[in-house]
Structure 1
């Protein structure tokens, strides 16, 4: 299928953001990268800010769909951490981690971009929540854990790790290793016998 002008502009915006930064994301720069007339930016999107917002959501949806099969194959928490490692590596190598950094940096000064970045991250959170619901459903943790809240905590931690890796790769590796160990520990807790499971339920329900 031939890409439409709108799609070309969206893809070009993502490339410009990742390669040149948000400060260079002008109508002229994007149009040049897309190989189209600059006026078409305003015809299709109205303003550069609206183009940036649309590109943010478009990019997030494209990446979520590209990685959905890997997440669908996850059946345990350690597998979720391992899938996250692979997704992180592929997204970094493709320049999408750099893109995320640019979007987060530009969001405070671009209100529409802030909302679109949050919407894009919400797509990832929804995928993680879907995996957690499936993985935790047969375990004692299903009724004791706030799954939507846990999905947000996991997703935000991976966003932080993606940005942190740029300044301390070894530290990011250490953090991933700690997440591996935590996931393994939680897996052990989900495999308790009936007596231990009842004790765990009582303990957790006494939390303030």
Structure 2
């Protein structure tokens, strides 16, 4: 006698995973404008009604899919992030991840959600949730590598983490229209990391002058 011997819970989890991965694949390959319950179900190889049974709406599925995809990517890179010991190494990691993720499609997913969020606010929540996973990991790295340096007192690690994450995502999208310009932007970010390291070598008077200027900038 043939049939699926798995438990109902196991079959349900399998279907949800298929839908999540189908949604990611559809966003990457067809874009937000052509992403629907029908196209996602076709990519997942399941009945269209299961989109609503498991997630309630296409937007809810897209939000879960973005979180699912980001969790997978963050988990993959977490050991490498844990080994980062300087701001320069963090930006070098960003360059390496940029090359690897270009083919994986995760940034394309965020790009599609960000595009759709301009007219569908619920998609902004989905994109923000996926980005937050990256921001949390980057903030951990910054908190670690900046401790004991002059920059620790000069910067807000949470805000800086958002700036770094936004830079990585923005550069991935920018590369689609200006690949050389995106490379130049990455080079510029790495030059900033070098400048940050030079700050460590300044004397106390110079460091105090930099602190005063940065604090004034923060208030303006």
Structure 1 CA distance for aligned equivalents of residues 209 and 92 of structure 2? 31
Runs of 4+ in 1 over 6 A off after TM superposition: none
Q: How does 1:29-108 map to 2 (within 5 A)?
A: 29-108=39-118
Tell me which of 136, 148, 172 is aligned to 2:146.
Answer: 136
1:81 CA drift (Å): 0.8
Which residue of 1 is the match for residue 3 of structure 2? none
How far residue 65 of structure 1 moved from its aligned partner, in angstroms, is 1.3
Q: State whether structure 2 residue 204 is matched by structure 1 residue 197.
A: yes
TM-score, normalised via structure 1 length: 0.92
Alignment partners' CA distance in 2, 1:174 and 1:203: 26
> 2:151, 2:196 within 8 Å by CA — same for their partners in 1?
no
Between 92-101 and 123-132, the greater mean CA deviation after superposition:
92-101
| Runs of at least 5 residues in structure 1 that lack an aligned partner in the other structure | none
Measured at CA, do residues 48 and 203 of structure 1 come closer, stay the same or move farther in structure 2, by a change above 3 Å?
Answer: closer
In structure 2, how many angstroms separate the alpha carbons of the residues matched to 1:197 and 1:129?
A: 27
Does residue 24 of structure 2 align to residue 10 of structure 1?
Answer: no
Q: Which residue of 2 aligns with 1:125?
A: 135
Does 1 or 2 have the higher relative contact order (CA < 8 Å, sep 6+)?
A: 1
- Offset of 1:111 from its aligned partner? 2.4
Cα offsets for 1:62-116 (capped at 9, x unmatched): 2111111111111011111110011111111112222222111111222221111
- 5+ unaligned residues in a row in structure 2: which ranges? 1-9
Residue by residue, what CA displacement relative to the aligned partner does 1:171-199 show, whole Å, maximum 9, x if unpaired? 0111111111111121121244xxx0354
Are the counterparts in 2 of residues 129 and 148 from structure 1 also a CA contact under 8 Å? Answer: yes
The count of aligned residue pairs is 205
What secondary structure does 1:185 align onto? helix
Distance 1:138 1:66 in 2: 29
